[in-house]
Amino acid sequence: MQDNHNRDEMRDRIIEAALKRFTHYSATKTTMNEIADDLHCSKASLYYYFPDKGTLHLAVLEKAGEAYFTELQKEADRASSAHQALMDMISVRHAFVKKFCRLELFKTLKDKQLDSTGEAFRQARERETALIAAIIRGGVERGELANCDADRMASLYMLSMMGLRFALSDRAFTDDLSDGEFEVVREWQVQLAEIFIKGLKK
């Protein structure tokens, strides 16, 4: 019989070590041997807990993503208006993207569009869209926003925000931008959000 407690603990230690390496250097530049060395164990041990590097990478992304959504939800709950909620959301995403850009989210997405990894991303995006839709619905109920197709508007909002990032960066599907670039994207996103919310009012 297996001891799930110890097993999960070791899994977590591996994920933690990988997260450190991945965020500091980058996922592709990190080898399984380096992670093993950090943990003072053998590479083969890593493969006892994860079938392959891709799965480990995904687990790392999921852990980071979980923290992101928790934070996002917290801010959304605290906000007093849809306007405020969306603005807070931009801040949270900005911090997250800046912190975890070395995790090569876009890069991974680009390759593994089809398999389970791609599916995980799709789910994450849907989850974020659902959160935005909820914020919009809240605004509608409170009379802050005009009645509208909240899901459609949430998708449009998401696409627009993502789009700004691509439109502003010459090397579009690169994960990490310079600090200056991140800031510029943020500014434009705030401006667009402002207009967007106005457009949903009345």
Partner DNA sequence: TTTCTGACTTTTTTAGTTACAAAGTCAAAA
Partner DNA sequence: TTTTGACTTTGTAACTAAAAAAGTCAGAAA
Interface positions with DNA (CB under 7 A): 1-3, 6-7, 10, 30-33, 40-45, 47-49, 51-54
For residues 111 and 187, which CB has a smaller minimum distance to DNA in the complex? 111
Nearest to 61 by CA among 25, 97, 34, 29: 97
Contact 62, 50 (CB under 8 A): no
- Does 165 interact with a second copy (rule: CB under 8 A)? yes
Which stretch in 24-32, 50-58, 59-67, 150-158 sits in contact with a second copy by CB under 8 A?
150-158
Tokens, residue 75? 């801010």
- Does 115 interact with a second copy (rule: CB under 8 A)? no
Q: Where are the alpha helices (DSSP H) in the chain?
A: 4-24, 32-38, 43-49, 53-78, 82-100, 105-111, 116-141, 150-168, 179-200
- Does 156 interact with a second copy (rule: CB under 8 A)? yes
Among 12, 142, 173, 183, binds a second copy (CB under 8 A): 173
For residues 56 and 161, which CB has a smaller minimum distance to a second copy in the complex? 161
For residues 18 and 150, which CB has a smaller minimum distance to DNA in the complex? 18
Contact 133, 150 (CB under 8 A): yes
Contact 115, 59 (CB under 8 A): no
Give the C-alpha separation, 63 to 14, whole Å: 12
Among 4, 40, 44, 170, binds a second copy (CB under 8 A): 170
CB of 57 to DNA, least distance (A): 9
Among 21, 164, 182, 186, binds a second copy (CB under 8 A): 164
Which stretch in 67-75, 81-89, 94-102, 157-165 sits in contact with a second copy by CB under 8 A?
157-165
Give the C-alpha separation, 167 to 191, whole Å: 15
| Count of residues that bind a second copy according to CB under 8 A | 28
Among 110, 122, 127, 142, binds a second copy (CB under 8 A): 110
Give the C-alpha separation, 172 to 95, whole Å: 19
Give the CA angle between residues 24, 28, 34 to the nearest 5°.
65
For residues 73 and 113, which CB has a smaller minimum distance to DNA in the complex? 113
